[in-house]
Structure 1
Amino acid sequence: MQLKQPTTNASGSVRPTHVEVNLDYLCQNLKAIREKTSPAKVMIILKANAYGHGLDAVARHLAPHADYIGVAVLEEGIILREMGIQTPILVLGGIWEEQIPEFIKHDLTLTASSVERLQQIDRVAENLGKKAIVHLKIDTGMERIGVHYYSAHTLQETALGCKHVLTEGIYSHFANSDAEDLSHARLQLARFNEVLHFYEKHSLPTPLRHIANSGAVLQLPEANFDIVRPGILLYGVYPSDEVERTVTVKPALSWSSKVVYFKVTQPGHPVSYGSTWQSDENVRVVTIPVGYGDGYFRAMSDKAEVIIQGVKVPQVGRICMDQIVVNLGPEGSGYNGDKVVLIGEMDGQRITAEDLARWAGTIPYEILTNINTRVPRVYVKTEK
């Protein structure tokens, strides 16, 4: 059942190069994560256009099933509120004092990553006659934002004196929870537990605790605490090749196009910019309307594969901004209008985001989040 066509051509049909997102798979993945981590609550991470899946549709579908939402920047939180999403939203990134009124206006939870920032939040909330909700950010080993674990007590003590701030949560972030060697992750966890001891030591109620990202959900059940924060795992992609796959998830996103041109290329006639590839025999090649302008990385040139008529075939020559060329070989079959799978399955053959990441020399996160917004997203639900 097709739910939405966000971009159409003049005839009303979806651009041949488009992404399909299965909303039911997202719900199934969330359910599997919840079953694995119960009784912890689940914060779904919707930053970066819901990891390339489309913020609007994904948020509307998943928000009713989530306890919290996590985003990276203020603007993402405001978009969700303007959509009518009422689920609690934590903005995980750093903030500036000038932004604080907007957080409070839109009922967004702030990350308090320093004593100075916490005091600013308190002052602004007092001036507005409101109470701001914050989660304290502790740096246990990322060296990004947050107070170092060894001086966290200063931030915790400051929070106790803020009259216009509700310290709802306290959190950190793993740097290596998706690795085979979990020694650094366990060191971070020990540091976080040390910080949390502050509350017991002073006979104070402990705020909601969270540190578990996708890797930790899979490999560190002792890090579940009160909330878990699945990101890429929610979308059906594992965070690394090393991670234990203790939760079964399905990729929600597939990416396809169609053959737009067919020709026979003779020996000694190089293909595409730079003339980096040519055949030593007559070969059938087809052109596909997708390129690095869509997020199909140029770094994959002469490494990528696509599926046409159920057969994996190689991309050849340099990937262009808007087009690629695929080699069907001397006898291969392909016709104008044939479906071309870029990510997904056809007739038992499969190409994954992990495959594209390997060809591009990057990670699946970058593959998914770089699929350009000019690529239409079409949303489907599995027929019951």
Structure 2
Amino acid sequence: MHAPDHAQDASGPVQSGVVDTRPTRVRVDLDNLSHNLGRIRAHVGVPVMAIVKANAYGHGLVPVARHLQAQGVDQLGVAFVEEGVRLRQAGVTTPVLVLGGISGRQISQYIAHDLEITVSSLDKLHQVEAAAEAMGRRAVIHLKIDTGMERIGVHSYSSRPFIEAAAASRWCELKAVYSHLACADDPGSAMTALQLERFLEACAHFDRIGAPMPLRHLANSGGVLHFPQTWLDMVRPGIALYGVLPDPASRRSIDLRPVMSLVSQVVYFKVVKAGNPVSYGATWAPSTDTRVVTIPIGYGDGYPRALSSAGDGRGGAVLIRGRRHPIVGRVCMDQFMVDIGQESAWNEDEVVLIGRQGDAFLGAEELARMAGTIPYEIMVGLNERIPRQYVGGVAE
């Protein structure tokens, strides 16, 4: 049984007494999310940690996590303790790993909310042990080994004392050891093999000291798509889980479906005379009389200003009535304009900014290319001014 389509603001309920009728919304297809999770599981054959940080890549942290929990996902991953606490407060009981670096004053919050901790240095291990002992509760930890990212984690070549201390800890339950791949989005990367070699060499120290081998996880979306040797005991898909390729060089080695659509409506139509400039800065003007429509979304919503057009052939585009039309002039904070030439459009016609309309498709990957950025930034940049609408999924 499928739940009816419904709109929900991922940042919380709509203000009391206010009905959310904004025509612009992020539409999240939960059936496609289920499809992607199932395809990834079948592809890798090991447990999956679904990454839901940054508001589930713009899809809505709590609704996405609840849906993944209903699908029996093995683990969830977030960036900050606040994201993990929010999941617990929303009733999510699936194991949650906080991937980011920790501050000592936060450690009690991890333990109190049953969140798994990334321990990235010997000093932080001692801080976690002290907090756990003071609370009388063991902390569940994942050791972070740096194999080439140079972000957080103990260097693989100096990790032996770190591993020994964690394995011997009385107040820490060592669940896993992991690293992060820097170049796996590119299937031609030689760096990935080097990182795998460094990681496995560090993990071999568990056998040397006679300690049980914890779970080993290394593969991000790029690893899942391109490098089977990195799958090990668990994988951590992020952007691929939402049906988007992480890089132009990436291969679609799994049948993935986009989960996010961004839709709006035409709110104004006018004829612009030849030579009359459109939008701030007067950077674009038509060479002949043309029809221009206004769309109620802008950079205040996280839609990139870089999609503005100055008439140089660059800039963004949208789909109206199944056809692609260019953005003209500068994207404003709350609106932008589109040139539809001599075609027709009516107020309240649907406008697709990301997604499919008829036979036409405009993906987050292409939008990112037009904006000179990456699809991650496009998706996570869509902020809480835009309501989220969830379609599909199993009724609770």
TM-score, reference length from structure 1: 0.97
**2:389 aligned with 1:378:** yes
AA matched with 1:16: P
Which range moves more in the overlay, 244-253 or 42-51?
Answer: 244-253
Deviation at 1:267, TM superposition (A): 1.3
Q: Percent identity?
A: 49
What residue in structure 1 maps to residue 49 of structure 2?
A: 43
| Structure 2 CA distance for aligned equivalents of residues 44 and 130 of structure 1 | 26
What residue in structure 2 maps to residue 306 of structure 1?
A: 318
What residue in structure 2 maps to residue 24 of structure 1?
A: 31
AA matched with 2:81: L
> Given the alignment, which residue of 113, 118, 121 partners 2:125?
118
What residue in structure 2 maps to residue 61 of structure 1?
A: 67
Give SS of 1:58's match.
helix
AA matched with 1:54: G
Number of corresponding residues: 382
What residue in structure 1 maps to residue 352 of structure 2?
A: 341
Structure 1, unpaired ranges of 5+: none
Deviation at 1:203, TM superposition (A): 2.5
Mapped contact 1:71–1:77 kept (Cα < 8 A): yes
- What's the RMSD between the two structures over aligned residues? 1.6
Deviation at 1:91, TM superposition (A): 0.3
Mapped contact 1:92–1:111 kept (Cα < 8 A): yes
Distance 1:81 1:362, change over 3 A: same
What residue in structure 2 maps to residue 3 of structure 1?
A: 6
Distance 1:5 1:333, change over 3 A: same
What residue in structure 1 maps to residue 312 of structure 2?
A: none
Mapped contact 2:269–2:292 kept (Cα < 8 A): yes
AA matched with 2:352: V
| Structure 1 CA distance for aligned equivalents of residues 175 and 340 of structure 2 | 58
AA matched with 1:223: T
| Structure 1 CA distance for aligned equivalents of residues 227 and 322 of structure 2 | 39
- Output one character per residue of 1:234-272: Cα deviation in whole Å (capped at 9) or x when no partner: 001011121222111100110111000111101121000
Mapped contact 1:5–1:14 kept (Cα < 8 A): no
Mapped contact 1:8–1:15 kept (Cα < 8 A): no
AA matched with 2:388: R
| Structure 1 CA distance for aligned equivalents of residues 113 and 393 of structure 2 | 34
| Structure 1 CA distance for aligned equivalents of residues 86 and 19 of structure 2 | 27
AA matched with 2:179: S
**2:332 aligned with 1:326:** no
Runs of 4+, deviation exceeding 4 Å: 7-11
Give SS of 2:159's match.
helix
Aligned pairs for 1:1-384 within 5 A: 1-6=4-9, 12=19, 14-38=21-45, 40-64=46-70, 65-302=72-309, 303-329=315-341, 331-381=342-392
Deviation at 1:8, TM superposition (A): 6.6
| Structure 1 CA distance for aligned equivalents of residues 140 and 344 of structure 2 | 60
Give SS of 1:137's match.
strand
Deviation at 1:11, TM superposition (A): 8.0
Deviation at 1:160, TM superposition (A): 2.6
Mapped contact 1:19–1:255 kept (Cα < 8 A): yes
Give SS of 1:41's match.
coil
TM-score, reference length from structure 2: 0.94
| Structure 1 CA distance for aligned equivalents of residues 393 and 56 of structure 2 | 20
| Structure 2 CA distance for aligned equivalents of residues 276 and 4 of structure 1 | 37
Deviation at 1:198, TM superposition (A): 0.4
| Structure 2 CA distance for aligned equivalents of residues 37 and 341 of structure 1 | 33
- Output one character per residue of 1:313-353: Cα deviation in whole Å (capped at 9) or x when no partner: 10000000000000011x11111111101001112011110
